[in-house]
Structure 1
Amino acid sequence: MAASPHSPNSSFRRLRGQRSPAEFAGMVRRAAKEIGETVSCDARYIGRVESGEIRCPNYAYERVFLHMFPGHTLTDLGFSPREAVRGRSAHRIPSPRIPSPPLSLFSGFTHFSKESDVLRRAFMAGGSATVAAAATLNLTLLGDNRRIPARAGESEAEAVEDAVRQIRLLDDRHGADALYRKAAEPLRTAYALLDAGATRQSTEDRLHAGAGELAISVGWLAHDSGRFEDARSHYAEALATARVSGDAALEAHAFSNAAFLAGDRGRPRESVRAAQAGARAARGLGSARLLSLLALREAGGWAGMADRKSCEDALTRAHTHFSRGPAPADPEWMSFFGEAELEFLEARCWAALGEYSRAARHARRAADLQDPHFARNVALYTSELADDLARAGAPDEAAWAGHRVLDLLTEVQSTRVQSILSGTARALVPHQRSPRVGAFLTRHASA
């Protein structure tokens, strides 16, 4: 049986037998070498697997484990199905609940598990195929009649919630650029449903929360595709929804994203203030991981102001909160926030402070830790690594990482990643006589 969330993976523990976690980690590294894989396995990783924190290994580890234990499946080894890991809260992973017509968000997603594979293949073809795949989405919550009901019910609230999950899933795999315009339609419909009112207070509360989370998701698509003013507007809409409904969790989420956006817009002081406001909203929610993320957002703001002491203080708080582990109160949207994201956000802090070698160490760890299933994050972390290496005086390594990002950009559409990589290319121009750097610059220019 697959391990349930936060339950020890007893199947994997039995396979370790009498060996220590460090000894078993050594076996994993040797097995990886046998099949040409590279994994950074240590005793801590084994502990995370056995505790149930890692519910599904990335593809590199999957190949290694199946090589070590022939005839076994991932389920035999105690892991959860990969599709169950993303898009649900840390303490609850039901099977996808897609509303029946006429309330389907995507007309092509009534049977989501089957159709998502088709859409994924279309996205992975890249370029015009990505746009074509996005164009097939019928982004409506209302079906064919397109009429707002007199009062919204549970099915409408469920449709809004599923819209959020589906958009996040597609963004994880393919990036934001091809999704943003289409995702705005269900957001307008969600707020129209909210204006219509609901049949009961519990449904109205769900609609408020769902509409707010949808506004943040659409705002993130705008943010990641470089539409900063649109993103700011959507995040403000989510914050207003949170304030009207008294939803502290939604307020904390909106402030977290607002802090991130402010940093990207070169407004570090605004980033610090938004992160601190988010922490105040999150204080009573019982989620140490949420407080960790908000401390990292604050650290990024302090780094942007070149305030090293305040940045280090915020990083210390982030690590302290993170070390307390996941909790049932962790918000559903935070399923992306694990050790890889923590390492990435810390890398950005050190880069902003000009410590590029230190930043590169954290970025490399982020890329190594991230499950390749989430191609957009792998591309983002690797682009950060390439940029840090270029500025740390390691041009050949930077070019290697840049090639890897270009490989990933056949799957991912992200203006954010492309922008980082363009900066890396500019930084590498003085080293273009190096064969590896020259090859990267040529390939980047043609791409």
Structure 2
Amino acid sequence: MARPVTNAAFEALLKAAGYGNAHAAFARQLNHAGRGHGTWRYDAASVYWWLRGRRPAEHVQATMTDVIGRKLGRPVAAAELGFTIAQVPATISYPTSAGHAFGAAEQLWAMLAKQLTPASSETFQSDVALQAALAWRYDLPDETVSRSRRQPVTAGDIQSLYALADHFTNLDRRHGGGSPRARALMADFLVRQLAPMLHGTYTDAVGRELMRAAATLSGQFAFMSYDAGDHRIAQHHLTIALRLAKAADDRLYGAHLLANLATQAVYLGHAQEATRLAEAAIDGAGRVPAGVRARLYTTAASAYGRLGEGRACQSALAKAERALDRATPDAGPRWVNYFSPAHFAGTALKCLSDLHLYRRALRHAPDAITLAGQNARTRALHTALIATTHARAGDIDTACGWGRELARHVADVHSARVNHRVRELTAALTPHQAMPQVNELLLALAATPPPE
């Protein structure tokens, strides 16, 4: 049964312009008029959803006014289209189908492309996260994800999506996810390029790969939002990406996304829920390559460490370290190649520090900073953590040395997580601020300008 029209103003304009029963013709004219923005692939299905409440991005609306205005012979204002300002849904939910995931994603992307909201409060809907984990793990797989619309999607189109995902990942690692401009640029790409592809024509095999690419891009946007401190947007995207990974039949990437949800839960103080999410990721992944196993058990260790469960934490660290020793390049999915001994060492340092085992934690410090040069954010995170751990262990002089190193890195990274680590170091050093080197460092960190 067709859904009722909710945007009567847009329907009236289409009828007045002669497109009332020619939605496909309107979509073709829109694609042609918008070719300066890239390759648009809107079709009659796109018009169907616009009439029923979906809101296209502002630049798409501007092109709509041009197309309709030419037919009517008069200027058409954007307000006449009847699209209301989109809001991020207050309640996060795991999409019941791949199609619902498309709709939820497109709604978010259209809003974020031009009107990124201020960073949300540190909220995490743990019950929703656990429900999503259960649905991802136990719901029946999608029998098919093939679609038949006007615009065909090819394997070459999908490879271009992966190339752009790599580009945004590199930007994130070099500069942090906190730049609103970078996230707005990515959201604009998602709504203009990826959303029309999801509504295109593809076989089941191509569709599975398209779902995997869409999950990758949505997961990357989620991680950038998490790093920026916009936790509601991050959880929305992780939940959507989890459903897309389910549609792709990619349990390894789904487990990775679930582990990212656990990481977000740890950061926001939901350690108990984080342990459940991490264990669900391990269980749902099944038999996995060594690199993936190392990544998943490292996340579980982080959750147990934050919870204060020392035995479980150290057991997970041992399993992760053994797996990492067996990991070989190109033996797992491409996305796991980021996880290096330095990432494991940084998490091990944090886990053991959470357990107040500061000296044992600092044994991992040398490995934690052996990072590739372009990974500026992780270098800043680990440097701050090493400095704070030295301070908590009572070694103030060494803490200040690492703090001075941090001050050289922090100005280049726009990251709420890095800022949080700086505040942790400041809190650990403040009781010693009578010491000249501590006072000098605190002043230097306070004066560090945020990146643009």
TM-score (norm 1): 0.64
Is it true that 1:186 corresponds to 2:162 in the alignment? no
* C-alpha separation in 1, matches of 2:427 and 2:275: 30
Shift, 1:150, TM fit? 2.6
Q: 1:280 to 1:328 in 2, by over 3 A?
A: farther
For 1:177 and 1:169, how far apart are their aligned partners in 2? 14
What amino acid is aligned across from residue 340 of structure 2 in structure 1? Answer: G
For residues 366-407 of structure 1, give each alpha carbon's deviation from its aligned partner in whole angstroms, at most 9, with x where no partner exists: 11x123332222111101111111111112211221121121
When residues 371 and 329 of structure 1 are mapped into structure 2, their CA distance, relative to the original with a 3 A threshold, is closer
Tell me if 1:353 matches 2:355.
Answer: yes
Q: 1:213-232 residue pairs with structure 2 within 5 A?
A: 213-232=216-235
The residue aligned with 2:299 is 297
C-alpha separation in 1, matches of 2:359 and 2:213: 41
Structure 1 residues 149 and 375: CA distance shift in structure 2, 3 A: farther
Deviations 1:390-438 (CA, angstroms, capped at 9, x unpaired): 1111122112211211211232221211111111112211111222111
Evaluate the alpha carbon distance shift between residue 332 and residue 190 of structure 1 in structure 2; reply closer, same or farther with a 3 A threshold. farther
8 Å CA contact retained: 1:396, 1:434 = no
Q: How far apart are residue 300 of structure 1 and its match?
A: 1.1
Which residue is equivalent to 1:121?
Answer: none
Query: CA-to-partner distance for each residue in 1:146-175, whole Å, 9 max, x for gaps?
Result: xx9633233431232122100111112111
1:269-299 Cα deviation digits (max 9, x unpaired): 22112222222233234x1111111111111
- Please say which of residues 217-226 and 391-400 is displaced more in the overlay: 391-400
Q: Runs of 5+ in structure 2 lacking a partner?
A: 1-36, 41-112, 115-148
Q: Distance in 1 between the 2:171 and 2:388 partners?
A: 26
For 1:446, the equivalent position in structure 2 comes to 447
User: In the TM superposition, what whole-angstrom CA distance separates every residue of 1:293-337 from its partner, at most 9, and x where no partner exists?
Assistant: 111111111112211111111111111211112253422122221
In structure 2, give the amino acid aligned to 1:332: R
Residues 196, 380 of structure 1: CA spacing in aligned structure 2 closer, same or farther, 3 A cutoff?
same
Q: 1:443 to 1:391 in 2, by over 3 A?
A: same
Equivalent in the alignment of 2:11? none
Do the aligned partners of 2:241 and 2:257 also contact (CA within 8 Å) in 1?
Answer: yes
Task: Tell me the distance in 2 between the aligned counterparts of 1:386 and 1:374.
Answer: 19
Q: Is the 1:215–1:235 contact (alpha carbons within 8 Å) kept by the matching residues of 2?
A: yes
Secondary structure (helix, strand or coil) at the match of 1:177 reads coil
Cα distance in 1, alignment partners of residues 197 and 252 from structure 2: 19
Partner of 1:210: 213
Q: Distance in 2 between matches of 1:154 and 1:292?
A: 31
> Any idea what the Cα deviations from partners look like across 1:209-254, whole Å, max 9, x if unmatched?
0000111100000111111111111111111112233221221121
Q: How does 1:372-391 map to 2 (within 5 A)?
A: 372-391=373-392
- Does the 8 Å contact 1:379/1:409 carry over to 2? yes
Answer yes or no: is the 8 Å Cα contact 2:329–2:337 preserved in 1. Answer: no
Structure 1 residue identity aligned to 2:385: E
CA distance in 2, matches of 1:255, 1:375: 25
Aligned to 1:177: 178
Q: Which residue of 1 aligns with 2:270?
A: 267
Q: How does 1:118-267 map to 2 (within 5 A)?
A: 150-178=151-179, 179-189=182-192, 192-267=195-270
Q: 2:233 & 2:154 partners in 1: Cα distance? A: 30
Give the distance between the partners of 1:193 and 1:254, measured in 2 at CA.
24
Aligned residue number for residue 431 of structure 2: 430
CA distance in 2, matches of 1:189, 1:255: 27
Q: What residue is the counterpart of 1:326 in the other structure?
A: 328
- Which residue matches 1:408? 409
TM-score (norm 2): 0.63
One-letter amino acid of the counterpart of residue 372, structure 1: G
Shift in Å at residue 191 of structure 1? 5.2
Distance in 1 between the 2:331 and 2:201 partners? 26
SS in 1 for 2:363: helix
Q: In 2, are the aligned partners of 1:383 and 1:402 still within 8 Å (CA)?
A: yes
Letter in 1 for 2:176: G
Task: Provide the rounded CA distance (Å) in 1 between the counterparts of 2:354 and 2:304.
Answer: 9
Displacement, 1:103?
5.6
C-alpha distance in structure 2 between counterparts of 1:166 and 1:372, whole Å: 16
In the alignment, the residues of structure 2 paired with residue 267 and residue 288 of structure 1 have an alpha-carbon distance, to the nearest angstrom, of 28
Residue 91 of structure 1: aligned partner? none
Structure 1 residue ranges without an equivalent (≥5): 1-100, 105-138, 141-147
The separation in 1 between residues aligned to 2:198 and 2:330, in whole angstroms, is 31
Q: Are 1:152 and 1:193, in contact at CA under 8 Å, matched by a contact in 2?
A: no
Q: Could you tell me which amino acid in structure 1 is paired with residue 239 of structure 2?
A: A
Between Structure 1 and Structure 2, whose CA radius of gyration is higher?
A: 2
What SS does structure 2 have at the residue aligned with 1:197? coil
Contact 2:272–2:303, Cα closer than 8 Å, also in 1: yes
1:371 aligns with 2:378: no
Give, as a single letter, the amino acid of the residue that structure 2 aligns with 1:395: I
Worse-superposed segment, 210-219 or 423-432: 423-432
Answer yes or no: is the 8 Å Cα contact 1:172–1:377 preserved in 2. Answer: yes
CA distance in 1, matches of 2:184, 2:365: 31
- Whole-Å Cα distance in 2 between the matches of residues 331 and 289 of structure 1? 9
